[in-house]
A = this chain, B = another copy of it.
Amino acid sequence: MKLSFAEENYIKTIYQLTDAGKKGVSTNDISASMKLKPASVSDMLRKLGDKGVIDYRKYYGVHITEEGKKYALSTIRKQRLWEVFLVEKLRFSWDEVVDVADELEHIQSTVLIRRLDEYLGFPKFDPHGDPIPDEYGDVRVRPRVSLNEIDLNATGQIVAVKDSSAAFLRYLDKVGAYIGARIKVIEKVEFDGSIEILIDNKKTIFMSKDVAGNILIMV
């Protein structure tokens, strides 16, 4: 079975909004994330349910099926490989790749993706630090915690970002935070949750709770 562009976008979103087991993904969440009206989402959920890529119980949110995961991971693999291509080969910056990769990920050709993977040297992570699933949908997960949850004086390394919006990524560029940077938490403000960190033992930067929450650390 082959999914349409729209269906691929939905299943990818549902997969990414799925939060370890528990409640299903809600219509409203999908609607917000994809910037579509809830009514449009409802309609598509019924179709995706009929195709067997999600379990759909009206009014109770959806759960992705094993079949559905396969499709989601295939699209995510393509998206992330193209992101690597854009950054590594075409000199895009990490905040410019999202829109283009969101189109490129729908190109249908197994051999294209295999060759692209090979050409890029079989990268394991995309420019935002997210893991690239292999051909079979296997993802090498590495434990990571949000910068918020790190103790005072603890050290670690920035391995990914939760938010890939241009605004957020450009902010990180400006303050000098990047994937791979070694950090140490040197101040935690109880009042508003903001923190101060030392980057690469060179530079200290101050950031809000919101920013810190979107930075992922490997300790």
**Residues of A at under 8 Å CB distance from B?**
86, 89-92, 96, 99-100, 103-104, 107-109, 111-112, 115-116, 119
Dominant secondary structure of chain A at its interface with chain B: helix
Jot down 5 A-B pairs with beta carbons below 8 A, ordered by A. Answer: A90-B112, A92-B111, A100-B109, A100-B112, A103-B107
Given A104-B107, A107-B104, answer yes or no on A116-B90 (Cβ-Cβ < 8 Å). yes
Distance between Cα atoms of A72 and B90 in the complex (Å): 25
Cβ distance A96 to chain B, nearest Cβ, rounded Å: 8
Distance between Cα atoms of A89 and B85 in the complex (Å): 12
In the complex, the chain B residue whose C-beta lies closest to that of A92 is B115
In the complex, the chain B residue whose C-beta lies closest to that of A115 is B90
Distance between Cα atoms of A111 and B89 in the complex (Å): 13
* B119/A90 in contact, CB under 8 A: yes
Distance between Cα atoms of A100 and B108 in the complex (Å): 8
Distance between Cα atoms of A109 and B99 in the complex (Å): 9
The interface residues of chain B lying within 8 Å CB-to-CB of A109 are 99-100, 103
